[in-house]
């Protein structure tokens, strides 16, 4: 019944949208045509309706799409087309078809040129000025018909060579700014239709008859050049890039916009902007490339998670991750199966796998990052955290092209954690025993027996290979275009037995079914196999072998005398290699996503689009904890199988109306309705007590079923949306964008199912005004305001839920009871973010220097917080909308062409962002203290006036010295060498009331600087990325200060520079009875500056000279280095490490080390 009512509602809305858009069509066409005619060569006054010369319209297309269109003047003279023949929303191919087909003409694409051909003989072609609509114009008869060519081959020959016997030939090579030959350059004799195109080497030959002849050289993306022939027989020409890219199309929500008309804040990345190398996932391609977009790998393990923050953190509980939209399909970026979730005797891993693992980075054509409300409000309740639009490659009309890319490389750990080696460990333990008044832990005989000991990090880490193969095929004709690809990616991890393998296939197909109907399919399928390094300590990501390698006794050998892994009698930590060998894990995910769409042109300028999408994922994790490990040995083996099935189905209907009001004024209207449904099914089973390790998880029935633990569940949610947008451009100067979206979400309370998200933006292209100095090549001022939402909370959070309650015995039967676990809140709704943005786009020196500056303020309200409830209610709290948060900042992006001379060029791109976050209101809640880890806790606080998740702990002001009045201090039980904690409230006691905010996880500044240098066939790219002002809570330091077991290993600096009577000026406490001087207190000694500057990428490429190999179009070899150098004062593997798996809280607890990578690759085009 509900589905039936929903269908009726959709039909009614569709009918209303159609009627509304058709009413807009009633604008007087004659008025519009007359306005256009004022700026164009019009027909003579006797014309019944305004028309243009066909040649004029073709010249417009050449300018708009920056392509070469070749034709014979005589063939097209006297031909006219109606004013409405070309609409701005049409593609180049659609525009050519609209112009040529009614006149009996067609076109072919040869390399990069579009060549217009005649299809009909002279007797068959329309005469007496028959136009597209069949009307007769007697004035056109004089120039209408040109002599036909005999066939296509003759036509192509006439466009490539002279039709007249020439006196001599001119030859030469056309090159780009790097001195490389440019194929497909149009070379035309000025004032005639004689022309040719350069071959694959950039060479050309053209016959001329007059020494006064002038040749015109033109090519897409380059400035045209006119060169006088004179008496030259050889003319070499170097083309100069046309840096004015204002007509570039930018993908926005539910459509595209010209860059010059954009009023929102959008970062657009193309292939040339992506980070080079074997990027394991899409996020690595854009890391550091956009201002205000912070990308952290929450784990550096292959396939590890990613955390992306666009303009700061926006929520405490509803998530701050952006919405991903791939080819128009919003995908679910939630967690599938983590490497570990506490099953099979392992710890919990808070890092999900990367949701973009299933996308082949080589398939990506562009990435648009929508930042401000003008750009994101069209996505309503999912737009508050920003939106990332990923557009994959499409086929082009013309010859089928094949591309193969292969790269292989090796990864290493750039530096180990500096912990005590065996001799240092022995000395430290014996010294500590002496200080504590105990006998030495190691005797002389022990020291002789131990020898050099074991470097456990060397045992756990490895030189890890990786390689990638990518094959793509693309092409098409005037009706069908396609792109397809296959990808194989294999990356072993630098921690033994970790890694990822990916098999990905894609097909994108578009087909014209007639003049008005077209359809397309985008389909991606993948198989991803993760091999995760496992085990953990509560929130410690991947802390099994890594944790053990840092803390295990370095005096122990790898193997005991019986051949088994040795195990220290003084520690409960596993031998690190027993975890490497004794834990097996695989996580296999199948994912198929895609969409099929149909577009129908109802009337000129009015297009309807029906889009169906689906994203289906199935994942299974097999984990076996064998008897080689301590937990596995005690349980006789532990097997865990967990599965999840996730589906996402989209139905979407939109209508778009576009009208060219005048030559410089346009109107675009968008309306639509979308419905998206999500469903999750999960199952998990844990069995213990196996007779052997041999079968792993392949036969759970062999285990002790009396010790099993089973779980299953299912959840679903849906969202119904109505959307609209208007774009208006007046005189190419004044810009207006307004949108409104209404979202209904099943996740929220009965009283707040629907929300409304408006936005408005204006722009002023000052560079089009006459009063602006010519010094500015482009100058545009933008301003926007809008409201977006965040609905990323748990399903059913607004409803009362139940859990298992007390059991009762009734008539010899045990009845299991239930009890409510959460109280309902029918008023629960999404978090709302109001954002104001002011931006400036500018370029000078013909575009050689360009900059974009944005200032924004984001105010999030109705944040979801658990409000305390009176005990009489039976519940501790209720989830409510009460909190407020603010992010504000400045973003700057600058690009410049520094040198362009001869065969050498050098360009630079820089981006900077400074963002401040603070809590502005928590309602009835004073503060929220959270983040306990093991015996170390709490770590963070949320309170008004400070950044969210500020670090919360004790300030260490120094160390007690011999002779200090310790008895009269706030820590009377301390001893010399113990840390001194600041008594904040002055009560002469150290209590939780003395905790204070000691740092912030958010950087004050993030930046990236990229340089590109080219010389002839060589290219060099290097990219630096970094942050300044972020703090990191290093739990590894606290572990050394407060070890759970005194025999655990320590960080070298803390052990060797500890306080002793002989070293009273030491930085670190004495280490004597550490539990007595603060237990696990979070303090400023463990809070470290996580600022860094990193050489993220270095790439050197060489374009091979393959001009004589006819079947090869291009060939390039390249060497890429990644994460080559990091400049930081941080003590740990990586200042970006994050055991909590999100950027809101930075905590380093034995994180997976970031690998240094070198790769060699080759790319060949056929």
Same domain, 192 and 152: no
- Give pLDDT tens digits for 733-772: 999 999 999 999 999 889 999 999 999 999 999 988 888 8
The yes-or-no verdict on residue 51 having pLDDT over 80 is: no
Residue with tokens 């589905």: 3
Measured between alpha carbons, how far is 777 from 763 in angstroms, rounded to an integer?
A: 17
> How, if at all, do strands 1147-1148 and 255-258 pair?
unpaired
Of 546, 447, 543, the C-alpha closest to 495 is: 546
- Give pLDDT tens digits for 139-172: 333 333 333 333 444 444 444 443 333 457 899 9
DSSP letter string, 436-505: TT---SS-HHHHHHHTT---HHHHHB--EEEEEEEEEEEEE-SSEEEEEEEEEEEEE-SBTT-EEEEEEE
The yes-or-no verdict on residue 919 having pLDDT over 70 is: yes
Secondary element (H or E) of residue 1052 = helix 1052-1056
Q: What pLDDT sits at residue 1128?
A: 94
CATH number at residue 300: 2.170.130.10
Domain ends where: 364, 392, 420? Answer: 392
Task: Record the tokens describing residue 936, joined without a space.
Answer: 């170390």
Q: What pLDDT sits at residue 221?
A: 65
Task: Record the tokens describing residue 696, joined without a space.
Answer: 């792993």
Q: What is the mean pLDDT of residues 418-429?
A: 94
Same domain, 59 and 121: yes
Instruction: Look at residue 1021 and tell me if it is in a domain.
Output: no
| Residues 30/34/40/41 CA torsion (nearest 10 deg) | 80
Angle at 914 between CA 908 and CA 915, to 5 degrees: 140
- Give pLDDT tens digits for 513-570: 988 999 999 999 999 998 875 544 333 333 588 889 999 999 999 999 999 999 998 8
Angle at 1075 between CA 1072 and CA 1080, to 5 degrees: 125
696 burial type by CB count under 10 A (0-12 exposed, 13-18 middle, 19+ buried) = middle
Q: What pLDDT sits at residue 1095?
A: 95
Same domain, 138 and 234: no
CATH number at residue 173: 2.60.40.1120
Least confident span in 25-29, 335-339, 1072-1076: 25-29
- Give pLDDT tens digits for 330-363: 998 765 554 444 444 444 444 556 778 899 999 9
Instruction: Look at residue 357 and tell me if it is in a domain.
Output: yes
The yes-or-no verdict on residue 676 having pLDDT over 70 is: yes
Secondary element (H or E) of residue 908 = strand 904-921
Residue with tokens 């060479």: 203
Same domain, 272 and 347: yes
874 burial type by CB count under 10 A (0-12 exposed, 13-18 middle, 19+ buried) = exposed
Least confident span in 52-66, 316-330, 508-522: 52-66
Question: How many CB atoms are closer than 10 A to CB 1078?
Answer: 22
Confidence bin at 297 (pLDDT 50/70/90): confident
The region, left, alpha or beta by phi > 0 then psi within -120 to 50, assigned to residue 202 is left
- Counting DSSP H helices and E strands in the chain, the numbers are 16, 54
With contact defined as beta carbons under 8 Å apart, do 1139 and 1149 qualify?
yes
Question: How many CB atoms are closer than 10 A to CB 506?
Answer: 22
Q: What pLDDT sits at residue 955?
A: 94
Least confident span in 271-285, 597-611, 1011-1025: 271-285
Instruction: Look at residue 889 and tell me if it is in a domain.
Output: no
Maximum mean pLDDT: which of 671-675, 767-771, 1058-1062, 1105-1109: 671-675
Q: What pLDDT sits at residue 719?
A: 95
Residue with tokens 């070499």: 236
Instruction: Look at residue 276 and tell me if it is in a domain.
Output: yes
Measured between alpha carbons, how far is 367 from 359 in angstroms, rounded to an integer?
A: 13
Measured between alpha carbons, how far is 384 from 863 in angstroms, rounded to an integer?
A: 12
Instruction: Look at residue 977 and tell me if it is in a domain.
Output: no
- Give pLDDT tens digits for 885-895: 999 999 999 99
Instruction: Look at residue 320 and tell me if it is in a domain.
Output: yes
Same domain, 260 and 298: yes
Q: What pLDDT sits at residue 773?
A: 80
User: How large is the greatest C-alpha to C-alpha distance in the chain, in angstroms?
Assistant: 116
The yes-or-no verdict on residue 454 having pLDDT over 90 is: yes
Same domain, 234 and 178: yes
With contact defined as beta carbons under 8 Å apart, do 307 and 296 qualify?
yes
The yes-or-no verdict on residue 135 having pLDDT over 50 is: no
Q: What is the mean pLDDT of residues 579-608?
A: 93
Q: Where are the beta strands (DSSP E) in 27-67?
A: 51-53
Measured between alpha carbons, how far is 1098 from 733 in angstroms, rounded to an integer?
A: 41
With contact defined as beta carbons under 8 Å apart, do 1088 and 1130 qualify?
yes
Confidence bin at 92 (pLDDT 50/70/90): confident
Give Cα 420 to chain centroid, integer Å: 40
Same domain, 215 and 343: no
Same domain, 295 and 320: yes
Confidence bin at 11 (pLDDT 50/70/90): very low
Instruction: Look at residue 383 and tell me if it is in a domain.
Output: yes
Least confident span in 98-102, 902-906, 984-988: 98-102
Task: Record the tokens describing residue 719, joined without a space.
Answer: 């969202």
Question: How many CB atoms are closer than 10 A to CB 128?
Answer: 11
With contact defined as beta carbons under 8 Å apart, do 1132 and 1036 qualify?
yes
Q: Which residue has the higher pLDDT, 952 or 73?
A: 952
Residues 6+ apart with CB under 8 A from 12: none
Confidence bin at 1 (pLDDT 50/70/90): very low
Measured between alpha carbons, how far is 1150 from 588 in angstroms, rounded to an integer?
A: 25
Residues 6+ apart with CB under 8 A from 986: none
Domain ends where: 392, 411, 445? Answer: 392
Q: What pLDDT sits at residue 17?
A: 39
Measured between alpha carbons, how far is 295 from 356 in angstroms, rounded to an integer?
A: 13
CATH number at residue 107: 3.55.50.30
Question: How many CB atoms are closer than 10 A to CB 1011?
Answer: 15
Question: Using alpha carbons only, how large is the chain's radius of gyration in Å?
Answer: 34
Determine the 3-state secondary structure of 785 from DSSP. strand
With contact defined as beta carbons under 8 Å apart, do 389 and 325 qualify?
yes
The yes-or-no verdict on residue 120 having pLDDT over 90 is: no
Q: What is the mean pLDDT of residues 188-197?
A: 79
Maximum mean pLDDT: which of 240-244, 473-477, 958-962: 958-962
Confidence bin at 1143 (pLDDT 50/70/90): low
Q: Residue 11: phi, psi to the nearest 5? A: -65, -40
Q: What pLDDT sits at residue 117?
A: 60
Measured between alpha carbons, how far is 610 from 10 in angstroms, rounded to an integer?
A: 13
Q: How many domains does the chain have?
A: 3
For 94, the domain range is 40-158
Q: What pLDDT sits at residue 543?
A: 55
Task: Record the tokens describing residue 576, joined without a space.
Answer: 């690190």
Tell me the CA distances in angstroms from 286 to 150, 280, 291, 839, 1155, one per residue in order: 52, 12, 11, 22, 18
Residues 6+ apart with CB under 8 A from 571: 551, 552, 553, 1045, 1047, 1048
- Give pLDDT tens digits for 823-840: 888 999 989 999 999 999
Same domain, 181 and 124: no
Q: Which residue has the higher pLDDT, 409 or 931?
A: 409
Measured between alpha carbons, how far is 584 from 580 in angstroms, rounded to an integer?
A: 8
Instruction: Look at residue 216 and tell me if it is in a domain.
Output: yes
The yes-or-no verdict on residue 880 having pLDDT over 80 is: yes
Domain ends where: 335, 369, 392? Answer: 392
Angle at 791 between CA 789 and CA 797, to 5 degrees: 145
Of 799, 788, 707, the C-alpha closest to 748 is: 799
Least confident span in 48-52, 84-88, 218-222, 948-952: 48-52
With contact defined as beta carbons under 8 Å apart, do 894 and 928 qualify?
no
Measured between alpha carbons, how far is 700 from 640 in angstroms, rounded to an integer?
A: 9
The yes-or-no verdict on residue 30 having pLDDT over 60 is: no
Determine the 3-state secondary structure of 917 from DSSP. strand
Q: Which residue has the higher pLDDT, 19 or 881?
A: 881
Determine the 3-state secondary structure of 332 from DSSP. coil
Determine the 3-state secondary structure of 236 from DSSP. coil
Q: What is the mean pLDDT of residues 1155-1160?
A: 94
Question: How many CB atoms are closer than 10 A to CB 421?
Answer: 16
Same domain, 287 and 355: yes
Of 493, 269, 251, the C-alpha closest to 1023 is: 269
Angle at 696 between CA 691 and CA 701, to 5 degrees: 60
Of 1146, 1157, 379, the C-alpha closest to 719 is: 379
Same domain, 191 and 267: no
Same domain, 310 and 218: no
Measured between alpha carbons, how far is 609 from 663 in angstroms, rounded to an integer?
A: 27
Confidence bin at 28 (pLDDT 50/70/90): very low
Mean pLDDT, all residues of the chain: 83
Q: What pLDDT sits at residue 274?
A: 86
């Amino acid at each position: 019944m509900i589905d039936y009512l929903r269908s009726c509602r959709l039909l009614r809305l569709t009918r209303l949208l159609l009627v509304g858009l058709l009413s807009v069509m009633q604008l007087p066409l004659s008025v519009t045509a007359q306005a256009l005619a004022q700026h164009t060569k019009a027909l003579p006054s006797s014309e019944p309706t305004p028309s243009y010369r066909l040649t004029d319209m073709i010249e417009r297309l050449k300018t708009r799409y920056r392509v070469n269109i070749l034709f014979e003047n005589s063939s097209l003279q006297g031909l006219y087309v109606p004013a409405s023949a070309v609409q701005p929303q049409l593609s180049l191919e659609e525009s050519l078809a609209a112009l040529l087909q009614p006149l009996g003409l067609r076109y072919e694409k040869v390399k990069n040129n579009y060549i217009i051909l005649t299809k009909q003989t002279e007797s068959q072609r329309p005469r007496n000025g028959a136009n597209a609509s069949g009307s007769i114009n007697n004035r056109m008869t004089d120039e209408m018909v040109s002599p036909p060519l005999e066939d296509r081959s003759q036509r192509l020959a006439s466009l490539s060579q002279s039709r007249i016997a020439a006196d001599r030939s001119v030859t030469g090579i056309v090159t780009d700014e790097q001195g490389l030959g440019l194929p497909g350059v149009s070379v035309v004799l000025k004032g005639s239709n004689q022309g040719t195109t350069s071959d694959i080497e950039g060479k050309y030959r053209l016959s001329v008859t007059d020494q006064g002849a002038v040749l015109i050289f033109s090519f897409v993306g380059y400035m045209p050049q006119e060169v006088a022939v004179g008496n030259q027989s050889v003319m070499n020409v170097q083309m100069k890039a046309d840096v004015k890219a204002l007509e570039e199309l930018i993908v926005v929500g539910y459509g595209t916009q010209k860059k010059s008309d954009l009023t929102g804040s959008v970062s657009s990345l193309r292939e040339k902007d992506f980070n080079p190398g074997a990027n394991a996932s899409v996020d690595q391609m854009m890391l550091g490339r956009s201002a205000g977009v912070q990308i952290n790998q929450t784990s550096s393990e292959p396939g590890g998670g990613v955390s992306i923050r666009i303009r700061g953190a926006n929520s405490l509980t509803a998530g701050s991750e952006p919405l991903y939209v791939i080819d128009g399909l919003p995908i679910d970026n939630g967690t599938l199966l983590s490497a570990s979730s506490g099953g099979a005797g392992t710890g919990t891993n808070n890092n999900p796998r990367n949701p973009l693992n299933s996308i082949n980075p080589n398939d990506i054509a562009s990435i648009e990052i929508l930042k401000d409300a003008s750009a994101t409000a069209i996505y309503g309740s999912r737009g508050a955290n920003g939106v990332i639009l990923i557009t994959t490659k499409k086929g082009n009309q013309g010859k089928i092209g094949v591309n193969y890319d292969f790269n292989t490389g090796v990864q290493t750990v750039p530096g180990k954690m500096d912990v005590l080696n065996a001799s240092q460990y022995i000395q430290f333990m014996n010294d500590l025993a002496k200080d504590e008044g105990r006998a030495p832990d190691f005797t002389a005989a022990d020291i002789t027996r131990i020898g050099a000991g074991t470097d456990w990090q060397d045992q756990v880490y490895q030189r890890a290979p990786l390689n990638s193969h990518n094959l793509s095929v693309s092409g098409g004709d005037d009706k069908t275009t396609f792109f397809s690809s296959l990808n194989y990616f294999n990356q072993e991890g630098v921690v033994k037995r970790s890694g990822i393998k990916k098999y990905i296939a894609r097909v994108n197909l578009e087909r014209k079914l007639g003049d008005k109907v077209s359809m397309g399919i985008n389909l991606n399928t993948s198989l991803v196999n993760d091999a995760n390094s496992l085990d953990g300590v509560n929130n410690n990501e991947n802390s099994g072998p890594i944790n053990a390698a840092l803390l295990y006794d370095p005096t122990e050998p790898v193997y005991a005398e019986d051949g088994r892994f040795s195990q220290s009698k003084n520690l409960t930590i596993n031998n690190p290699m027993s975890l490497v060998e004794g834990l097996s894990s695989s996580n296999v995910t199948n994912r198929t996503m895609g969409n099929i769409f149909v577009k129908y042109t109802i009337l000129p300028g009015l297009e309807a689009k029906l889009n169906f999408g689906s994203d289906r994922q199935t994942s299974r994790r097999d984990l076996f904890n064998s008897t080689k490990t301590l937990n596995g040995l005690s349980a006789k083996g532990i097997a865990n199988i967990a599965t999840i099935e996730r589906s996402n189905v989209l139905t979407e209907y939109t209508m778009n109306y576009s009208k060219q009001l005048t030559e410089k004024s346009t109107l675009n209207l968008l309306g639509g309705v979308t419905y998206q449904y999500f469903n999750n099914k999960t199952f998990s089973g844990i069995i213990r007590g196996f007779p052997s390790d041999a079968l792993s998880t392949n036969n759970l029935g062999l285990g002790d079923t009396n010790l099993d633990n089973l779980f299953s569940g299912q959840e679903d949610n849906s969202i119904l949306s109505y959307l609209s947008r208007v774009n208006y451009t007046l005189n190419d100067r004044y810009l207006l964008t307004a949108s409104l979206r209404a979202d209904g979400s099943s996740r929220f309370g009965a009283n707040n199912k629907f929300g409304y998200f408006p936005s408005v933006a204006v722009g002023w292209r000052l560079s089009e005004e006459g009063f602006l100095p010519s010094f500015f090549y482009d100058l545009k001022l933008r301003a926007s305001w809008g409201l977006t939402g965040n609905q990323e909370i748990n399903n059913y959070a607004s409803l009362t839920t139940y859990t298992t309650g007390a059991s009762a015995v009734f008539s010899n039967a045990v009845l299991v009871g239930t009890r409510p676990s959460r109280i309902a809140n029918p008023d629960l709704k999404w978090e709302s973010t109001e954002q104001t943005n002011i931006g400036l786009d500018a370029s000078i020196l013909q575009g050689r220097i360009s900059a974009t500056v944005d200032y924004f303020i984001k105010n999030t309200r109705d944040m979801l917080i658990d409000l305390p409830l009176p005990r009489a209610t039976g519940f501790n709290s209720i989830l409510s909308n009460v909190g407020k948060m603010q992010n504000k900042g400045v973003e700057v992006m600058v690009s410049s062409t520094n040198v362009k001379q001869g065969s050498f060029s050098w360009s630079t791109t820089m981006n900077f962002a400074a963002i401040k976050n603070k809590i502005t209101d928590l309602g009835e809640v004073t503060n929220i203290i959270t983040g306990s880890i093991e015996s170390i806790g709490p770590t963070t606080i949320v309170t008004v006036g400070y950044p969210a998740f500020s670090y919360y702990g004790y300030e260490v002001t120094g160390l007690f010295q011999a002779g200090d009045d310790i008895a009269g201090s706030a820590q009377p039980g301390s001893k010399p060498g113990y840390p001194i904690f600041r008594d904040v409230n002055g009560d002469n006691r150290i209590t939780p009331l003395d905790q204070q905010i000691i740092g912030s996880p958010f950087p004050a500044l993030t930046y990236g600087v990229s340089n590109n240098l080219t010389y002839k066939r060589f290219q060099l790219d290097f990219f630096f990325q970094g942050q300044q002002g972020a703090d990191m809570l290093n739990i590894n330091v606290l572990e050394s200060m407060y070890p759970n077991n005194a025999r655990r290993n320590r960080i070298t600096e803390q052990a060797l520079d500890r306080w002793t009577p002989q070293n009273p000026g030491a930085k670190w406490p004495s280490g004597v009875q550490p539990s007595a001087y603060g237990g696990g207190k979070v303090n400023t000694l463990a809070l470290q500056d996580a600022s860094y500057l990193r050489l993220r990428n270095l790439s050197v490429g060489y374009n091979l000279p393959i001009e004589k190999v006819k079947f090869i179009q291009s060939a390039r070899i390249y060497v890429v280095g990644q994460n080559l150098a990091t400049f930081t004062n941080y003590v740990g593997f990586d200042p970006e490490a994050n055991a909590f798996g999100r950027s809101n809280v930075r905590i380093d607890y034995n994180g997976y080390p970031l690998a240094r990578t070198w790769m060699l690759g080759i790319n060949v085009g056929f």
